[in-house]
Structure 1
Amino acid sequence: MTAEHEGLVHIGEVVERTGLSHRTVRYYEEMGLVAPAGRTEGGFRLYDRAGIDRLLLITPMKPLGFSIEEIGELLAALDTATDPEADLASRKQARELLDDAHAGVQERIRELGAALSRAEAFAERLRQESPTAVGTP
């Protein structure tokens, strides 16, 4: 890599750091959720720490039920809420959206916790009922 690409990593490294697939990273790029910081002369995507951090921020949103559009709205709200150049009204609106999202995430976590408890109880019942499971943890 050239000096202008110093500190940037190829998509393969991004995949290793985030646990996402190449396809998912490219899809998020196509949807406008993340952008590579540059490209090599051969056209390969290069990402900086901010791009990787953004992908790590997106990662837990899908399992919580957020659509791509909602993820985009949340990312935009996060950007606006932390942008010192944004006007007060925009930052206030962004914070309200983030507060609503937080409440929704808390509710989803409660639902997932209840589902996990039911799944664990079911697994325990199966363990107790299974003659081959005797003595297995």
Structure 2
Amino acid sequence: MDDKHMQIGEVAARTELSLRTIRHYEETGLVAPSARSQGGFRLYTEADVARLIVIRRMKPLGFTLDQMRDLLDATDRLDAGDVLDDGERETLLGRVREYEQAATEQVGKLRTQLARAEDFAATLRRRLPGASAERD
């Protein structure tokens, strides 16, 4: 990974998160700037951006901050390159597996909600004057 440092504004643009949201995630311990400039500005790396993107993807699926922290802890430990005994590695993988299953389940629920919302919008369109079947 590139060790290039970015200021918070660039990170916000890349992650599509607000500066306030990024600072909130820092305050709650989900992410920490990798460095600070001499002027005290937060500096982030590609790894920090990747971490924020994981958080951004978990949020609309209804995961709590504690769950985000737990998953990130598990993936950090798996990715650290430290020697893990088989039991510890399997425990961490089990945690990741549980989050994957929860995410898959939530995606299914969202698909159902989306289909219902699309049906509702189509029903409303059909009620409007000049509505055509082509718009459905």
TM-score, normalised relative to structure 2: 0.89
Check the 8 A contact 1:81/1:92 in 2, yes or no: no
Q: 2: distance between equivalents of 1:41 and 1:53?
A: 24
Q: Assess, with a 3 A threshold, how the Cα gap between structure 1 residues 109 and 32 changes in structure 2: closer, same or farther.
A: same
* 4+ runs deviating over 6 angstroms: none
Q: 2: distance between equivalents of 1:86 and 1:24?
A: 34
Specify the code of the residue in structure 1 equivalent to 2:73: A
Q: 2: distance between equivalents of 1:132 and 1:34?
A: 52
Q: 2: distance between equivalents of 1:50 and 1:32?
A: 15
Q: 2: distance between equivalents of 1:75 and 1:13?
A: 22
Q: 2: distance between equivalents of 1:46 and 1:80?
A: 23
- Report what 1:19 is aligned to: 16
Aligned-pair CA distance for 1:29? 0.8
Specify the code of the residue in structure 1 equivalent to 2:68: I
Find 1:73's aligned residue among 67, 70, 74: 70
- Report what 1:116 is aligned to: 114
Q: CA RMSD in A?
A: 1.7
Structure 1 residue runs of 5 or longer lacking an equivalent are 1-5
Q: Assess, with a 3 A threshold, how the Cα gap between structure 1 residues 84 and 7 changes in structure 2: closer, same or farther.
A: closer
- Report what 1:3 is aligned to: none
Specify the code of the residue in structure 1 equivalent to 2:129: P
Q: Relative to structure 2, which stretch is displaced further, 40-49 or 70-79? A: 40-49
Count of residues paired in the alignment: 132
Deviations 1:57-116 (A, max 9, x none): 111101000000000000001112233314222221110011111111111111000000
Give the secondary-structure state (helix, strand or coil) at the position aligned to 1:95: helix
Find 2:58's aligned residue among 57, 61, 76: 61
Find 2:89's aligned residue among 84, 91, 98: 91
Q: 2: distance between equivalents of 1:47 and 1:96?
A: 30
Q: Assess, with a 3 A threshold, how the Cα gap between structure 1 residues 92 and 107 changes in structure 2: closer, same or farther.
A: same
Q: 2: distance between equivalents of 1:49 and 1:84?
A: 18
